[in-house]
């Protein structure tokens, strides 16, 4: 019997295919808010000001974006306007995909 497609691809690829918002939420909840109620992470909340992600976490997030979505984050793009909330991250990923 054949396995469902979701069982045959890796988690990051499956997450990227499910949509950037879901993939980013899942990554942040798993890596920075383990055990937290998923509803506690609001799409518009500042990840830095609320203490979800610090500077080391930001580097981890950038690496995750590059590996999962297949683009390079340029140094000048690592700004709060791109990275400080789920909404900003989703918009940034969309712009990078559109530019590719």
What is residue 11's predicted lDDT score, i.e. its pLDDT? 53
How far is Cα 92 from Cα 82, in angstroms, rounded to an integer? 6
Q: Containing H/E element for 84? A: none
- At 100 the pLDDT is 77
List the alpha helices (DSSP H) in 1-100: 5-8, 11-18, 20-32, 55-69, 80-83, 86-99
Alpha-carbon distance 100 to 98, whole Å?
Answer: 6
Q: Write down the CATH superfamily of domain 9-35+44-99.
A: ACP-like (1.10.1200.10)
Q: What is the pLDDT of residues 4-45, one digit of tens each?
A: 444 444 454 444 446 899 999 999 999 999 999 999 999 999
Q: What is the pTM of this model?
A: 0.80
Q: Where are the domains of the chain?
A: 9-35+44-99
Give the per-residue pLDDT at 10.
46
* DSSP tag of 45: S
Tokens 């999962």 belong to residue: 68
Mean pLDDT of all residues belonging to the chain = 86
């Amino acid at each position: 019997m054949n396995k469902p497609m979701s069982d045959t691809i890796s988690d990051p690829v499956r997450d990227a295919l499910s949509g950037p918002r879901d993939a980013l939420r899942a990554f942040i909840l798993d890596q920075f808010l383990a055990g937290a109620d998923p509803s506690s992470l609001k799409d518009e909340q500042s990840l830095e000001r609320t203490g979800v992600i610090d500077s080391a976490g930001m580097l981890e997030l950038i690496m995750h974006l590059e590996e999962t979505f297949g683009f390079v984050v340029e140094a000048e793009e690592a700004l709060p306007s791109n990275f400080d909330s789920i909404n900003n991250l989703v918009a940034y990923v969309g712009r990078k995909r559109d530019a590719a």
